[in-house]
Amino acid sequence: MAYQYPEALNRLVRELASLPGVGQKAAQRLAFHLLGKERAGVVTLARSIVDAHDAVHPCPRCGNYTDQPLCPVCTDPRRDHSQLCLVEGVADLISMERSGSYQGLYHVLGGVISPMDGVGPEQLALHSLEKRLREEPVKELIMATNPTAEGEVTAQYLAKRLRREGLRITRLAHGMPVGGSLAFVDEATLDLAMSGRRDL
Amino acid sequence: MAYQYPEALNRLVRELASLPGVGQKAAQRLAFHLLGKERAGVVTLARSIVDAHDAVHPCPRCGNYTDQPLCPVCTDPRRDHSQLCLVEGVADLISMERSGSYQGLYHVLGGVISPMDGVGPEQLALHSLEKRLREEPVKELIMATNPTAEGEVTAQYLAKRLRREGLRITRLAHGMPVGGSLAFVDEATLDLAMSGRRDL
């Protein structure tokens, strides 16, 4: 006989368990934590969820999240508008921004080609990308999809589809992660690190 | 230079990251998931948080969560009111209920004695427990605090403090978990499993 939570608690646990990466046990722990908080605290959390949804939307040009008509990357005049970095999602864009290693613009694809999951090119933000390539002074397209099978296929597909005169298409380098260990890195990475070795 | 989320997204990530077991990366993933949902979905989640907090409270007798004046365990006339099982938290009570192995009542301590964390006996629900021992026909007190150092100390302390004529005080058995492996179980458990061995 399964133990029944009070109905309102049951609904909360079910809602929390539907979040990505939150299992049944974690949902219960979160729910109990929330029940133990001051009411003002849970109201603040609840409000922040709806407020963020209301205030934030994808940048209509690149797909980054913003509360403005265009995102801060797209409107920054100091950024290099001749470079466009293609990423799978906003989380990737933010990682790149945090690394501080890139000063161009982005285009968020919204996923990768994955026939297994029923995602084809038409599910990605390609029309808007092709429009940007026609209208903006893009000289380099940097494929920054993740180094997974789907990410590679997507990069290859896009390179073929978007290649044109005067447009350089590049891919992020593969190799040893900094701080990594030869003993623990996977063979495919080691293989690419070796074949891509550089003179010192 | 740290990347700045839009302010409303920043608040949401901060709120989510303050939840137990949710780190910065998980908070961002959850926030992005919520931004990608329909508005009705996030309103439902937000409402379920506040609704649960408003509807559910600890049972004034035992500490279990309930939306009624007393919890369903306390008001169930078929349960054995002569047994009282002491647990650290409501999650423990629910595990016990799910196992279906117990038909008595509970008392939620609300923690364990832990001098390191500044938790002494006065922070536990002991006044209400002693009141119950005076007013209810309790014949057995089952110490079901967790088998941790703090749980053991708490069980020992309570046994000493609450011991009286006609009251049986017991402790959950220690031993091999079902499905466990001798090769992987820790030494302390194996030691207790051996010293507590029973005739077949």
Q: pLDDT tens for residues A49-80?
A: 999 999 999 999 999 999 999 999 999 999 99
What part of A 86-105 touches B (C-beta under 8 Å)? 89-91, 94, 97-98, 100
User: pTM for the full model?
Assistant: 0.85
pLDDT at A1 over 60: no
Residue type, A113: I
pLDDT at B28 over 50: yes
- Is the CB of residue A159 less than 8 Å away from at least one CB of chain B? no
Residue that wins the pLDDT comparison between A134 and A197: A134
Q: Do B8 and A51 touch (CB under 8 A)?
A: yes
Q: Which of B57-66, B70-79, B132-141, B187-196 has the lowest mean pLDDT?
A: B187-196
What part of A 4-23 touches B (C-beta under 8 Å)? 4-9, 11-12, 15-16, 19-22
Q: Please state, rounded to an integer, the average pLDDT across all residues of chain A.
A: 93
pLDDT digits (tens, 9 = 90+) for B54-67: 999 999 999 999 99
Separation CA A10–CA A33 (nearest Å) = 14
State percent of chain A over pLDDT 90: 80
pLDDT band at residue B1 using 50, 70 and 90 as cut-offs: very low
Q: What's A14-53 look like in SS3?
A: HHHHCCCCCCHHHHHHHHHHHHCCCHHHHHHHHHHHHHHH
pLDDT at B199 over 80: no
Determine the pLDDT at residue B2: 65
In sequence order, what E strands does A120-162 have? 140-143
B41: left (phi over 0), alpha (psi -120 to 50) or beta: alpha
A122 to chain B, minimum CA–CA distance in Å? 19
- Is the CB of residue B45 less than 8 Å away from at least one CB of chain A? yes
Determine the pLDDT at residue A2: 65
In chain A, the domains with their CATH numbers are 7-55 (1.10.8.420), 65-199 (3.40.1360.10)
Determine the pLDDT at residue A180: 82
pLDDT digits (tens, 9 = 90+) for A47-56: 999 999 999 9
Q: Do B34 and A49 touch (CB under 8 A)?
A: yes
